[in-house]
Chain A
Amino acid sequence: MSLTIHELRKRSSSYLPGSAACPGCGATIAFRIASRVLGPNTVYVIPACCSSIIQSPYPRSAFSAPVLNFAFAAAAAAASGVYRAYKFQGKDVNVVVWAGDGGTVDIGIQALSGAAERGEDIIYICYDNEAYMNTGIQRSGATPWGAVTKTTPTGKREMPKDMPMIVAAHGVPYVATASVGYPFDLANKLEKAKKIRGFKYIHILSPCPPGWDFPVEKTAELGKLAVDTYFWPLYEIENGKLRITVKPRKRPIKDFLAMQERFKSLKDEDIEELERRITEKWNFLLQLEGLEKIF
């Protein structure tokens, strides 16, 4: 049962206009869609990240759902506590972590891993702008290969961590990747996750105009191009079974890279190498899709 635009239009999000977000922010597109699907009976635990600041300074908040702002490393642990308290009280409330890539793949990984292993009944959503954007564009474990950031001025030498697979390896009931460029795919995945009991993980690609250095109007377009070039495959792993949810006709990776200044240091041979790795990863996913269970 796919969500339509009319269904989405009937629901309200937990985002109030006039926030501190940059114009064209990918994270707010993601939050608007996510909060719409999750509904008002949701509590968000937000570690230090762009969304901490997007909420605007005290005493006003741009988010109209309850938010527990929390220390950088511990969102998943705090969310575990919130969930267990509601469980003790017999209350049915969606407990959701809304975290950036830094607070998920780097400093937050321990708490996330613990919560996943314990099977806490929460939804962990990572909106990934592929660097520590809130502190001014420093590289994270999610920053792509070759990307320029303030701490990788000549381009990142390492490949990013494959966080969705790391979480899936914990044996949790649902893991999915998503992109703001495919909002219906994102909405459907959240709608599905909401109905599952256990630990759920959604990893959303959120293009960042100042961080990736592209014209502000291109956020959604880049979010789609990332998927269409196979840079960001959209898949879900439900009870260990992998399914690619969007299979576009592939566009060359250089189309995606050319739109962003952060990849300007890549030479032709680097782009070829990247294309090779992307195709390799895609083929790998196709093989996994053929298996009954991967985790």
Chain B
Amino acid sequence: MVEGEWNIITGNHAAALAAKLARVNVVAAYPITPQTTVVEYLASFIESGYMNAEYIRVESEHSAMAAVIGAAAAGARTFTATSSQGLVYMSEVLHWAAGSRTPIGMAVINRALGPPWNIHVDHQDSMSQRDTGWMQIYVSSNQEVLDTILMMYKVAEHPDVMLPFMVCLDAFVLSHTFMPVNVPRQEDVDEFLPPFRPAWILDPSDPISFGSLVLPDEEYQEMRWSMDLSMRRALEVMEDVAEEFNEKFGRYHGAAVMKYKMNDADYVILTSATLASEAEVAVDIMRDEGISVGLLKLRSFRPFPHRDIKENLQGRKGVVVIDRSISFSSGGPIGTEVRSSLYDLSGAPPVVNYISGLGGRDLTYKDVIAMFKDAVSRIASGRVRKPYYWYKLKPEYQRIELAEEVVI
């Protein structure tokens, strides 16, 4: 196990350092609050010579993603970062990146979508891009930001995977908050992460046309299947890489999920990102009260870890899923997918899905406890009547939402 250097840094700084340590060749990024300091750190790293990379100061996020795809197509390891409006603006090219099988790395500072303008945390931005073919990992600490970006380059560039990844960190809660981070040494990262070997490349000595028209009876469907298969395979690769990282650097954040006091838990709280850290505190407090509860932290939303979900939730008395985004009229993305995953299990536990914390509405361990106790009471009295419940709306609106007539 190797030792790094302790620093007190923000999540954005950690993300920029990870890109530098990963020896990214080309960076293209466009500023947006609260991602801005990532691109500013990268600019100062590169201009000072601390980091050796080309930096393309693009004129929009759509172009940022286009530029890194172009660079990856020419064989470069690439990185970009964005947030909210920027992420959804580049939506078209997110699909293009995944379909191009270019393992681009991106830090997404999760921020609410407008209108109206809101610079604070929720997950609507990345959740709305869940079908793009990108892997999505949600993290809870600045250490996890840095470590996960390094690990995900190894996962994404695995010959069986070749898909881009986004490491999602909460706006301001992580991006602008200082935390102790152990920063690995460059030599150790070099040993862990070998140079990028692309699946295909633009090379005048071996010309190909990439991405031209594919007719229905040719391999279009197979190309999509291949992306899906690779993403499923990525779940295993993620576990292998997490183990390898732990052996070398002495830190384990989980792979697709992270278990906390799950062994004998009757009830499970399932959530992600910084809310999961709050949930850890809630679990500790409730355990002291004698409540049998554990936390299943979802790190990887894409690929969706069906097996981990089924294995860890089978046989429990209840599951409380807290989403920080909404798929309008359907429910929370995590909640609906957990339900769907459990549907085939005989004796699947009841799942109560809460939507809260949108637009940066503050959620603490107290809120987690409140939602948990509400859920348990509903389960006990047979009052889980809706696929999802909004929590912590202002009283005049919460009253409407709780009215039994508001069935769906």
Contacts and interface: CB of A to CB of B under 8 A. Distances in A.
A56 B212 contact: yes
B274 interface: no
B202 A77 contact: no
A67 B53 CA distance: 24
B74 A69 contact: no
Given A59-B218, A71-B93, A84-B67, A41 B25 contact: no
A81 B209 contact: no
Contacts of B211: 68-70
Given A71-B92, A71-B96, A81-B71, A111 B66 contact: yes
A68 B215 contact: no
A88 B27 CA distance: 11
A243 B54 CA distance: 35
Nearest to B68: A81
Contact of B58 (A65, A79, A114): A114
B59 interface: yes
A57 B214 contact: yes
A81 B213 contact: no
A171 B207 CA distance: 33
Nearest to A52: B212
Contacts of B2: none
Interface residues of A, number: 46
Contacts of B204: 40-43, 65-66, 93
Contacts of A57: 212-215, 218
B257 interface: no
A55 B64 CA distance: 27
A82 interface: yes
Contacts of A4: none
A114 B60 CA distance: 9
B63 interface: yes
Contacts of A63: 207, 209
Contacts of B74: 43, 81-82, 85-86, 89
Contacts of A58: 212-215, 218-219
Contacts of A68: 70, 73, 202, 210-211
A55 B57 contact: no
Given A53-B213, A58-B219, A114-B60, A89 B75 contact: yes
Report which residue of B28, B67, B92, B96 has the largest number of chain A beta carbons within 10 angstroms of its beta carbon. B67
Interface in A28-51: 40-43, 45
B319 to A, nearest CB: 40
Interface of A: 14, 40-43, 45, 52-53, 55-59, 61, 63-71, 73-74, 76-89, 93, 110-111, 113-114, 117-118
5 contacts: A43-B204, A58-B218, A66-B210, A80-B70, A93-B204
Interface of B: 25-26, 28, 53-54, 56-60, 62-76, 78, 92-93, 96, 202-204, 206-215, 218-219
Which 6 residue pairs are nearest across A and B when measured between Cβ atoms?
Answer: A81-B70, A114-B59, A74-B66, A77-B63, A78-B70, A85-B74
